[in-house]
């Protein structure tokens, strides 16, 4: 039987562990609708029914493009679209890319994939 101290330490560790999510941006339209260029350093919108708070750490395995390039993203929640969102907006979160090689690589890969398409879109998953 484990002592309460060990259980409390384990529970505290699990409470600080970031959520693990997966997102695939396989085509230009999907990438352009889920990319969030207005977030400093870039970010993506991920549909989710889970409850999050602003600032929550999240781990996202992001796959971009036809070549399925993978980026492990240790990001944070900077946007929340809850159940009471107006219009036809999906429930989910916006995750800011970290200031590291993986975050920068993901931002560059997405921006190269969508090119100027983002500027011509009238509707995205967030705006």
Structural domain boundaries, residue 105: 19-118
CB atoms within 10 A of CB 56: 17
Per-residue pLDDT of the chain (127 residues; tens, 9 = 90+): 444 434 444 344 444 445 689 999 999 999 999 999 999 999 999 999 898 999 999 999 999 998 999 999 999 999 998 777 666 778 899 999 999 999 999 999 999 999 876 554 455 555 4
Which of 50, 39, 49 is closest to 73 using CA atoms? 39
Phi first, then psi, for residue 25 (nearest 5°) are -110, 85
Q: Is residue 42 part of a domain?
A: yes
Q: Is residue 112 part of a domain?
A: yes
**Count of domains for the chain:** 1
Q: Is residue 3 part of a domain?
A: no
Q: Within 13 Å and on the Cβ side, how many CA atoms surround 99? A: 1
Q: Is residue 93 part of a domain?
A: yes
Q: Is residue 8 part of a domain?
A: no
Cα 104 to Cα 124: distance, rounded to the nearest angstrom: 22
Query: Which CATH number is 89's domain given?
Result: 2.40.10.220
Cα 27 to Cα 36: distance, rounded to the nearest angstrom: 16
Whether 53 contacts 60, CB under 8 Å: no
Residue 64 burial (C-beta neighbours within 10 Å; 0-12, 13-18, 19+): buried
Cα 5 to Cα 8: distance, rounded to the nearest angstrom: 5
Q: Is residue 125 part of a domain?
A: no
Q: Is residue 39 part of a domain?
A: yes
């Amino acid at each position: 039987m484990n002592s309460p101290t060990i259980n409390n330490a384990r529970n505290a560790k699990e409470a600080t562990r970031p959520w693990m999510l997966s997102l695939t941006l396989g085509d230009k339209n999907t990438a352009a609708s889920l990319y969030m260029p207005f977030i400093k350093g870039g970010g993506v919108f991920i549909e989710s029914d889970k409850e999050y708070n602003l600032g929550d750490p999240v781990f996202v395995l992001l796959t971009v493009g036809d070549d399925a390039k993978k980026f492990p993203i240790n990001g944070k929640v900077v946007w929340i679209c809850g159940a009471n969102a107006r219009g036809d907006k999906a429930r989910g979160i916006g995750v800011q890319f970290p200031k590291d090689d993986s975050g920068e690589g993901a931002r560059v890969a997405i921006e190269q994939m969508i090119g100027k398409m983002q500027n011509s879109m009238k509707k995205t998953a967030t705006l």
